[in-house]
Structures are given as structure tokens and as C-alpha cells.
């Protein structure tokens, strides 16, 4: 067997070729623009999973989200500790998720937005949580993380796709020629919002709005859709 080793120049040329292919591929998909809209999931398109599970399990501590704790790794380690303390498994959480529906108007909003521009959900949630919710939203593209689970079904750890995954993804899209528009509701959305050509807060807290008064904030899907369309059409 002959193994071919590539030079740095060949590797760079290969990467650039793939990047340009992606740019032109998306550009020629019907009437799609060179914009990619990046949306948070929980609190924007669907209810907060951990709040729903907190109510289902009767454990009020689990209501804490990234609106309260911006350090997601710290928040997840804390959550995993509480789950272990109460003997709760991944299946217990999935049973709650199965009962969750998208927020009113979210599916219609996604349908309209995906017809207008490329749209990706960037979420700190996990593959093991997101699948049934994506079906209810019409199977949009989602970039999220994964869980490590032991043989008894207990969550032992979480694996982030990459550091600062939302901001990193937005910068990667920009590096291959796309302009990004971003929207979210929490502290961990601020990086992608501020790094994008346009960014919007959606159904966020009064504190976040007060701390970042320069970021337009909306509460209705129609308002957010119109704001995104104005950016694309200008």
C-alpha cells in the first residue's frame, strides 16, 4: 500500500478549494443570499429544557440557565452533580423533552426564515436532547454538543463541540465568505451576536437588555423576521 503525504501548500490549496465550493454552492441554491442566520434554540425556539425538567422533577435548583450563569461548563457540572444526587438518568430528561413543543409561532418563523436565507441553530444543548425537538421544527440544521453516559444511563460528563462554540462557528462561516446574522437570549449568545454583521436579542432578560442597550431586542417572531429581512435586503 502506498501512502501519499501532502505538502502544506497542497493541504492549504485543498482547504481553499472546499471553502470556495461551499461559498458557491450556497450562493446558487435558488434565491438564497450570502447570509447565514444563526439562532439560539432554548428560550428562542423552544422552552428551556432544564426549566421544564425542574418542574417535572420537582427540583427547583435545575431552573438555573445560561441567563443566570454565563460559564456553561460550570453550569453543566453543577447540573450533573444534582442529577447524580437525585438518581436521575438521561432517560428521565428525555421523557420530559418528549412532551415539549416549540414555542408558539416558532415553526412558522423557521419555515419563513429558511426560505429567505441559510439558517443554522447554534445551541449549547446536546444531541441526546435535541433530536425530537428538531423534528417538530421541520429538521433544521443544528450544531450542538454531546453527553457522556455510563452503562446505567447516568450522565457522567458533557463534551463541547469546540471552545466558545457559537462564536467559533460564526467566525468560521465568516472565514469562508458568509455574512452572519445572529440572535439569542442569553449571555452565551452575546459573542456570536456581537461578532455578526447584525445581531438581535430575543425574549431576553431585563438585565441583559440593560447591560447591552446597543443590541436591538425583540419579543415577537414577526419583529425578528422583519429585522433579519432588512439586513439581507439592504
Average pLDDT over residues 74-102: 95
Q: Residue 68 has what pLDDT?
A: 80
The pLDDT score that the predictor gives to residue 73 is 85
Q: Please, which pLDDT band fits residue 33 given cuts at 50, 70 and 90? A: low
Question: Which pLDDT band, with edges at 50, 70 and 90, does 163 fall under?
Answer: confident
Single out the catalytic residue among 10, 40, 73, 127.
Answer: 40
Quick one: pLDDT at residue 2?
Answer: 44
Question: What is the pLDDT averaged over residues 168-184?
Answer: 96
pTM of the model: 0.82
User: Which stretch of 160-164, 167-171, 178-182, 195-199 has the lowest confidence by average pLDDT?
Assistant: 160-164
Q: What is the pLDDT of residue 5?
A: 43
Q: Where are the domains of the chain?
A: 26-233
How does pLDDT run across 203-219, given as a tens digit for each residue? 999 999 999 999 999 99
- Asked whether the predicted pLDDT for residue 109 surpasses 70, the reply is yes
Contacts of 153 by beta carbon, 8 Å cutoff, 6+ apart? 89, 90, 91
The catalytic residue among 8, 10, 31, 42 is 42
- Mean pLDDT across the stretch 19-48? 73
- pLDDT at position 70 is 76
Q: 26-233: what fold?
A: thrh gene product, domain 2 (3.90.1470)
Sign of the C-alpha dihedral computed for residues 73, 148, 161 and 192 taken in this order? negative
23 versus 109: the higher-pLDDT residue is 109
Angle between helices 106-116 and 221-233 (to 10 degrees): 10
Q: Is the pLDDT of residue 152 over 90?
A: yes
Is 226 an annotated catalytic residue? Answer: no
- Residue 23: band (very low, low, confident or very high) from pLDDT cuts 50, 70, 90: low
Is 40 considered catalytic here?
yes
Pairing of strands 141-149, 118-126: parallel
- What is the C-alpha separation between 111 and 195, in angstroms, rounded? 25
Calculate mean pLDDT across residues 83-103.
97
The SS3 call for residue 7 is coil
Q: What is the reported pLDDT for 72? A: 82
Amino acid at each position: 500500500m502506498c501512502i501519499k503525504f501532502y505538502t502544506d501548500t497542497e493541504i492549504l490549496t485543498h482547504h481553499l478549494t472546499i471553502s470556495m465550493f461551499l461559498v458557491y454552492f450556497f450562493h446558487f441554491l435558488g434565491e438564497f443570499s450570502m447570509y447565514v442566520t444563526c439562532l439560539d434554540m432554548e428560550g428562542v425556539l423552544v422552552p428551556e429544557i432544564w426549566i421544564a425538567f425542574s418542574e417535572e422533577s420537582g427540583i427547583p435548583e435545575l431552573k438555573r440557565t445560561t441567563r443566570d450563569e454565563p460559564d456553561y461548563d460550570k453550569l453543566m457540572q453543577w447540573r450533573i452533580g444534582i442529577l447524580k444526587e437525585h438518581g436521575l438518568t438521561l432517560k428521565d430528561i428525555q421523557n420530559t423533552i418528549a412532551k415539549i413543543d416549540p414555542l408558539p409561532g416558532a415553526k412558522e418563523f423557521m419555515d419563513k426564515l429558511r426560505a429567505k436565507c441559510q439558517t443554522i441553530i447554534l445551541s449549547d444543548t446536546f444531541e441526546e436532547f435535541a433530536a425530537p425537538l428538531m423534528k417538530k421544527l421541520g429538521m433544521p440544521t443544528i450544531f450542538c454538543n454531546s453527553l457522556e453516559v455510563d452503562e446505567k444511563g447516568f450522565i457522567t460528563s458533557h463534551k463541547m463541540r469546540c471552545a466558545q462554540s457559537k462564536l467559533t462557528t460564526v467566525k468560521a462561516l465568516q472565514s469562508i465568505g458568509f455574512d452572519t446574522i445572529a440572535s439569542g437570549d442569553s449571555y452565551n449568545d452575546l459573542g456570536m451576536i456581537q461578532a455578526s454583521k447584525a445581531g438581535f436579542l430575543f425574549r431576553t432578560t431585563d438585565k441583559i437588555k440593560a447591560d447591552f442597550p446597543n443590541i436591538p431586542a425583540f419579543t415577537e417572531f414577526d419583529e425578528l423576521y422583519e429585522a433579519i429581512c432588512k439586513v439581507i435586503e439592504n
